[in-house]
Structure 1
Amino acid sequence: MKLTKLILNNYRSFGPNDTIINISDLTAFIGHNSSGKTAVLSALQKLFGDSKIISSDFYIPLDKKSDESVDNHFYIEAYFEFFDDDGEVAEEDDYGIAHYFENFIVEHPGGNPYIVIRLDASFKKGSSPEGIIDYKYHYVVNKGEDGLKPISAHDRDKIKVIYIPAVRNPSEQLKNATGTILWRILKQINWKQLDKEKINEKIEELDKEVAKQSGVAIVKKIVSSQWKNYHNDSRYNEANIKFGSSDLDVILKKLEVEFSPSHTEKAFKVDDLGDGLKSLFYLTLIDSLLELENEAIKEIKIQVNVDERVLNIDPPALTLILVEEPENHVSPHLLGKVIKNLKNIRSRNNSQVLITSHSPSIIKRIDPKEVRHLRIDNGKTIIKEIVLPEKQDEAYKYVKEAIKAYPELYFSSLVVLGEGDSEEILIPRFLRLYIDDLDTLGISVVPLGGRHVNHFWKLLNQLDIPFITLLDLDKEREGGGWGRIKYSIKQLIENGTDKNEVLLLADNSILEDSRLEEMHTWEDYKYINGWRRRLEVYNVYFSSPLDIDFLMIRKFLDYYLMTLEKNEGPLIKINEHDKQKRIHELTDEEKQTIAYQERIEGDVKRALKEKGGEGHTYSKEQKESMIWYSYFFLTRGKPVTHLQALNYITDENLKVNVPKVFTRIAEKVKLLL
């Protein structure tokens, strides 16, 4: 039995239209503060916990104040399924089926049955600030007003919630846990009468041994004597000193957990743990409780006699674990264990986990398909799932792993998509020349390796997160130049951009489809800059004419040369005696040699790659720069090279020579924010 869908209507920040939330075995809700994450968890507490319904649970539009609401209404519906997608019943699911099969809904022949449990609540203004609140719980047995059937408290109790709040005191929670969850665990043991009698006998023996001590006898005598001075009721004449109660419930509440071995002879108690370990132990107790309930279900299934059961309880069919910000109090290196334990909890058929989080360290360990992104739009919560490419598509694995590698994009106010590692280093450095604090503004730079950019456009469009893309123009490389322009135009159209707008020509005609399809074959680069600037209107920018590394060499070569050691740099043979000299030490006369021209031609081919052009669209100076481009970026690591050079470039020098594309990107970032 698993919760598969939740519908919220008019509840808290969820407006008057149905908000449908698909639920998996482990579902993570992410978004900015006050986006509605806690509201989702609280809805389940209203349905299956003991959380009281209050006036603030009812949605209030932005244009109204809470005291203007005369009457209001909300409902919450929870959908539960009992079968896997292939129609096979899971091992323990028949326990839930036995409780709920009378209320199954089947929408079509051969369809999987499910149940719907609904909470309706209404508010009317009254004499008290909280007003008059009424609520009812029902099964939904069919559509329409007459499709509701009252649900018994017993049936509703078969679904439990355990809520772990974000703001928590681990010591206080563990105190409650050892008094409630641990007690609940121990109470599940089938304490047979003979066991109880043996425990009582041992306690009596202990009491007698204590009473034999001469000091205890003196204390008992004095207490009894003084006691008689205060009353004359014969029922309470004697005051005895006993070890403890013979009531098993009282004894169980006094039991506590100890940890050993320790570095001392004394065992550690729960109070001796740090806050992080206390939080982990709290999850351990919950995990243990669920495992015991699982064992109890197995005993019930095989119809073990009540007197012979090890566990004597009536377990719930499903427990929902609601965890707010599991990263709280836990050091980063333990977050992996937290998620591993939560995944272990969700793997059981009698439990599911729903979490909220602001931590990229948590989110990157969650499958993107299990993430639900929340945001506020005009006072209402909008919730979206993460849409990945088709699973058989090569892009599926790449995009999935890229999202997990850069989960901060979920929490961003704006995302800058770049080609690779160089962009991840250089874009923030340039943006900081114009924008003070990227982190405070929520700007993320996400390198994508130039692959499947279109899928990230779809993702960010769906989540309504504004973004800017910086691509390599790769002029004269295979697929580059006009091919990059064509790719960008087609993906913009696929993502909803008005085709007639993006393809509008200077004479107000529209570029024909046939011309667009052959754009990658165009050889005349006369108009490519006009198309580049057109695409900047749609937040697509290009490092031109080649890539961002080439831009840096063209603008800041002197600083890259400062990173060279004494014997570093490309060599060239300058005469027939095979004498070699470093490129940056050549005289103007030596640069006129055939050897130097051949070196340029060779490095142009290396820079433009195997199936690239001859460099005829590049100037003489640009071709010469390709010697250094090849040396610094095709034989050495790009990130390290850029970081070394940036150490020598002051912000003032950077701003004086900044490539214009970064100035335009910074202006667009400010505009979008």
Structure 2
Amino acid sequence: MKLTKLVFNNYRCFGPTDTTINISDLTAFIGNNSSGKTTVLSALRKLFGNFKITKSDFHIPLDKSPEEITEGNFYIEAYFEFFEEDSEGLDEDDYGIAQYFENFIVDHPGGNPYIVIRLDANYEKGSSPEGIIDFKYHYVVNKGEEGLKPISAHDRNKIQVIYIPAVRNPSEQLKNATGTILWRILNQINWKESDKEKINKKIDELDKVVAEQSGINIVKKVVSSSWKNYHNDSRYNEANIKFGSSDLDNILKKLEVEFTPTHTEKAFKVDDLGDGLKSLFYLTLINTLLELENEAITEIKNRVSIEERVLNIDPPALTLILVEEPENHVSPHLLGKVIKNLNNIRNRNNSQVLITSHSPSIIKRVEPTEIRHLRIENGTTIAKEIVLPEKQDESFKYVKEAIKAYPELYFSSLVVLGEGDSEDILIPKFLSLYMDDLDTVGISVVPLGGRHVNHFWKLLNQLNIPFITLLDLDKEREGGGWGRVKYAIKQLLENDVVRSELLTLEGGSILTEDQLENMHTWEGYEYIGGWIDMLENYNVYFSSPLDIDFLMIEKFLEYYLMTLEKNEGPRIKIIENEKQKRIHELTDEEKQSTIYQDRIKSDVTRALKEKGGNGHTYTKKQKELMIWYSYFFLNRGKPVTHLQALNYIADDVLQANIPDVFKNIADKATLLLNIEE
């Protein structure tokens, strides 16, 4: 039995239109503060945890104040299924089937049976601040009000919730008091009468040993003598000092958990643990409880008699573990263990896990398909799933792993997509010249560009997160130039950009499908600038003419040369039998030599790659730069080279000579984020 879907209507931040959220065995709710993550968990506590319904649970429209609301209503529906969709046979031993069989719904012949449990609540303004609140729990057996059937407290109690708050105190849960986890664990033990007699006998023996101690005897006599001076009631004549009560419940209340071995002879108590270990031990208690409940279910399925059972409870059919911010107080290297343990819990037949988180370290350990992204739009919460390419698509694995590698994009106000590591260093540097703190404004630079960029556009569009993309123009490289422009246009069309807006030419004609398909064969680059300018309207930019690395040495070569040691740099032997000279030390006359010109041709071929052009669309100076491009970025690590050069470039020099594309990206980022200059 598993929870598969939640439906909200007018509950807290969820508006009057039904909001449906699909639930998996482990579901992670992410989003900015006050986006509705905790609201989802609170709904399950209202449904199955007997938590009080208050005025604040009713949705308040954006254009209303609480004082203006005279009446309201909300409902929450929880859908539960009992069999896997792809299972070949039915699990006839499923513990939950027997509990809820009479209330099964089947949508079509051969369909998967399920149940729906619904909470309806109504509010009317009254004389008290909270007003008049009425609520009812039902099964949904058909559509409409006539399809509601009252649910018994027993049936509702068969679905339990355990809420683990963001601030966790396992010490409270280790007290054997009603409602604590330890109480629930100990309450499951089937204490036989023979066991109770043995325990009482041992306690009596201990009391006798303690009473024989001479010091205790003296204390006992003094207390009894003094006690008689204060009353005459024969029922309480003697005052004894005993080890403890023989009542089993009172004995169990004295149980504690200790940790050994320690660096001292004294055992550690839970309160001695650090916050991180306390948080982990809290989860350990949950796992223990679920394991015992699973054992109890097994005993019931195996028809073990009540007298012979180790556990004497009627366990819940399903336990929902609600965890707020599992990353709290836990060091990063232990977060993997936290998720691993939560996955162990979710794999049980009798439990599921729902978590909320702000931590990329947690989110990257969760499958993207199990993430639910929440955001506030016009005063109400919108919930979205993460949609990946089809599994058979070659891009599925790449996109899935890339999303897991850069989970910060989920929490961003703006995402800048780049081609690779160079963009990851350079884009933040240039943007920082125009805004104080990228983290404060919520900008994430994510190197996810390339041939799968359309999938990331779809994801960010779906999550309603604005984004900017910087691609390499790769002029004269295979697939570059007009091919890159064509690629960007086709991806925009796949993301529902209106064709007539995107492909309207001067004079009003629209580029035909055949013309677009053949764009990569167009010769000459006289008009490519106009297309690049047009794509910037759709937040797509190009590092021109080649890529971001070439763009940097074209603007700041002298600072990249500063990173060279005395004997570093590309070398060439101009005259036969003469010692090699470094390229940047050649005279103008030496640069006219055939050997130098051949070197340029060689490095142009290397930079433009095997199936690329001969560099005829590049200027003489640009072709000479291909030597340095090959040296700095094809022979050495790109990130290190850029970081070393940036150390020599003052911010005012960088801003004064900033390539236009970065200035345009900074302007667009400021516009998208509504940042005042």
- TM-score normalised over the length of structure 2: 0.98
Does residue 338 of structure 1 match 2:343? Answer: no
Q: Are residues 413 and 635 of structure 1, via their aligned partners in 2, closer, same or farther at CA, if it must alter by over 3 Å?
A: same
1:485, distance to aligned residue in structure 2 (A): 0.6
- Asked if 1 retains the 8 angstrom alpha-carbon contact of 2:369 and 2:387, the reply is yes
- Aligned identity (percent) is 81
> After the TM superposition, which residues 182-581 of structure 1 pair with which residues of structure 2 at under 5 Å, given as runs?
182-581=182-581
Residue 139 of structure 1 aligns to a residue in which SS?
strand
- Asked if 2 retains the 8 angstrom alpha-carbon contact of 1:92 and 1:297, the reply is no
Residue 313 of structure 1 aligns to a residue in which SS?
coil
> After the TM superposition, which residues 599-610 of structure 1 pair with which residues of structure 2 at under 5 Å, given as runs?
599-610=599-610
Equivalent position of 2:18 in the other structure: 18
Does residue 33 of structure 1 match 2:36? Answer: no
Q: Take 2:416 and 2:465, find their aligned partners in 1: how far apart are those partners?
A: 11
- Asked if 1 retains the 8 angstrom alpha-carbon contact of 2:417 and 2:449, the reply is no
Equivalent position of 1:100 in the other structure: 100
Does residue 627 of structure 1 match 2:615? Answer: no
Q: Take 1:244 and 1:659, find their aligned partners in 2: how far apart are those partners?
A: 81
Q: Take 2:576 and 2:281, find their aligned partners in 1: how far apart are those partners?
A: 78
- Asked if 1 retains the 8 angstrom alpha-carbon contact of 2:449 and 2:469, the reply is no
Show CA shifts across 1:188-218 (max 9, x none). 1211110100000011111111111222122
Amino acid at match of 1:204: D
- Asked if 1 retains the 8 angstrom alpha-carbon contact of 2:169 and 2:278, the reply is no
- Asked if 1 retains the 8 angstrom alpha-carbon contact of 2:11 and 2:74, the reply is yes
Q: Take 1:133 and 1:234, find their aligned partners in 2: how far apart are those partners?
A: 55
Residue 80 of structure 1 aligns to a residue in which SS?
strand
Q: Take 2:89 and 2:83, find their aligned partners in 1: how far apart are those partners?
A: 5
- Asked if 1 retains the 8 angstrom alpha-carbon contact of 2:164 and 2:322, the reply is yes
Q: Are residues 247 and 134 of structure 1, via their aligned partners in 2, closer, same or farther at CA, if it must alter by over 3 Å?
A: same
Amino acid at match of 1:469: T
Q: Take 1:298 and 1:92, find their aligned partners in 2: how far apart are those partners?
A: 14
Q: Are residues 393 and 403 of structure 1, via their aligned partners in 2, closer, same or farther at CA, if it must alter by over 3 Å?
A: same
Amino acid at match of 2:384: K
Bigger drift between 248-257 and 366-375 goes to: 248-257
Q: Take 1:434 and 1:198, find their aligned partners in 2: how far apart are those partners?
A: 78
Residue 190 of structure 1 aligns to a residue in which SS?
coil
Q: Take 1:654 and 1:175, find their aligned partners in 2: how far apart are those partners?
A: 62
Bigger drift between 90-99 and 417-426 goes to: 90-99
- Asked if 2 retains the 8 angstrom alpha-carbon contact of 1:171 and 1:275, the reply is no
1:497, distance to aligned residue in structure 2 (A): 1.2
Does residue 595 of structure 1 match 2:592? Answer: no
- Asked if 1 retains the 8 angstrom alpha-carbon contact of 2:175 and 2:182, the reply is no
- Asked if 2 retains the 8 angstrom alpha-carbon contact of 1:90 and 1:349, the reply is no
Residue 94 of structure 2 aligns to a residue in which SS?
helix
Equivalent position of 2:66 in the other structure: 66
Residue 622 of structure 2 aligns to a residue in which SS?
helix
1:578, distance to aligned residue in structure 2 (A): 4.9
Q: Take 1:49 and 1:141, find their aligned partners in 2: how far apart are those partners?
A: 22
1:89, distance to aligned residue in structure 2 (A): 6.0
Q: Take 1:382 and 1:488, find their aligned partners in 2: how far apart are those partners?
A: 29
Bigger drift between 500-509 and 40-49 goes to: 500-509
1:558, distance to aligned residue in structure 2 (A): 0.8
Q: Are residues 174 and 432 of structure 1, via their aligned partners in 2, closer, same or farther at CA, if it must alter by over 3 Å?
A: farther
Paired positions, count? 673
- TM-score normalised over the length of structure 1: 0.98
Amino acid at match of 2:212: K
Structure 1: gaps of 5 or more residues: none
Amino acid at match of 2:81: E
- Asked if 2 retains the 8 angstrom alpha-carbon contact of 1:82 and 1:89, the reply is no
- Asked if 1 retains the 8 angstrom alpha-carbon contact of 2:325 and 2:356, the reply is yes
1:449, distance to aligned residue in structure 2 (A): 5.0
Equivalent position of 2:124 in the other structure: 124
Show CA shifts across 1:243-270 (max 9, x none). 1111111111211111111111111111
Residue 304 of structure 1 aligns to a residue in which SS?
coil
- Asked if 2 retains the 8 angstrom alpha-carbon contact of 1:119 and 1:137, the reply is yes
Residue 391 of structure 2 aligns to a residue in which SS?
coil
Note the aligned Cα RMSD (angstroms).
1.4
Q: Are residues 596 and 176 of structure 1, via their aligned partners in 2, closer, same or farther at CA, if it must alter by over 3 Å?
A: farther
Equivalent position of 1:86 in the other structure: 86
Structure 2: gaps of 5 or more residues: none
Q: Take 2:223 and 2:142, find their aligned partners in 1: how far apart are those partners?
A: 70
Q: Take 1:90 and 1:51, find their aligned partners in 2: how far apart are those partners?
A: 35
1:152, distance to aligned residue in structure 2 (A): 0.7
- Asked if 2 retains the 8 angstrom alpha-carbon contact of 1:415 and 1:466, the reply is yes
Residue 588 of structure 1 aligns to a residue in which SS?
coil
Amino acid at match of 2:21: I
Q: Are residues 79 and 87 of structure 1, via their aligned partners in 2, closer, same or farther at CA, if it must alter by over 3 Å?
A: same
Residue 514 of structure 2 aligns to a residue in which SS?
helix
Q: Are residues 113 and 549 of structure 1, via their aligned partners in 2, closer, same or farther at CA, if it must alter by over 3 Å?
A: same
Q: Take 2:623 and 2:178, find their aligned partners in 1: how far apart are those partners?
A: 74
- Asked if 2 retains the 8 angstrom alpha-carbon contact of 1:174 and 1:278, the reply is no
Amino acid at match of 1:658: I
Equivalent position of 2:113 in the other structure: 113
Q: Take 2:117 and 2:381, find their aligned partners in 1: how far apart are those partners?
A: 23
Amino acid at match of 2:233: D
Does residue 163 of structure 1 match 2:163? Answer: yes
1:93, distance to aligned residue in structure 2 (A): 6.1
Equivalent position of 1:7 in the other structure: 7
Q: Are residues 380 and 179 of structure 1, via their aligned partners in 2, closer, same or farther at CA, if it must alter by over 3 Å?
A: closer
Residue 389 of structure 2 aligns to a residue in which SS?
coil
Bigger drift between 200-209 and 574-583 goes to: 574-583
1:128, distance to aligned residue in structure 2 (A): 0.5
Q: Are residues 298 and 40 of structure 1, via their aligned partners in 2, closer, same or farther at CA, if it must alter by over 3 Å?
A: same
Show CA shifts across 1:136-195 (max 9, x none). 111111112111111111110000000011244454455578982123212212111101
- Asked if 2 retains the 8 angstrom alpha-carbon contact of 1:571 and 1:580, the reply is yes
Show CA shifts across 1:462-495 (max 9, x none). 0000000000000011111001111111111111
Residue 115 of structure 2 aligns to a residue in which SS?
strand
Q: Take 2:89 and 2:300, find their aligned partners in 1: how far apart are those partners?
A: 17
Q: Take 1:332 and 1:91, find their aligned partners in 2: how far apart are those partners?
A: 40
Bigger drift between 49-58 and 222-231 goes to: 222-231
Q: Are residues 567 and 174 of structure 1, via their aligned partners in 2, closer, same or farther at CA, if it must alter by over 3 Å?
A: farther
- Asked if 1 retains the 8 angstrom alpha-carbon contact of 2:373 and 2:383, the reply is yes
Show CA shifts across 1:98-149 (max 9, x none). 1111110001000010000000011111110001111111111111211111
Q: Are residues 178 and 433 of structure 1, via their aligned partners in 2, closer, same or farther at CA, if it must alter by over 3 Å?
A: farther
Q: Take 1:430 and 1:439, find their aligned partners in 2: how far apart are those partners?
A: 14
Equivalent position of 1:136 in the other structure: 136
Amino acid at match of 1:450: G
Bigger drift between 373-382 and 259-268 goes to: 259-268
Q: Take 1:252 and 1:176, find their aligned partners in 2: how far apart are those partners?
A: 7
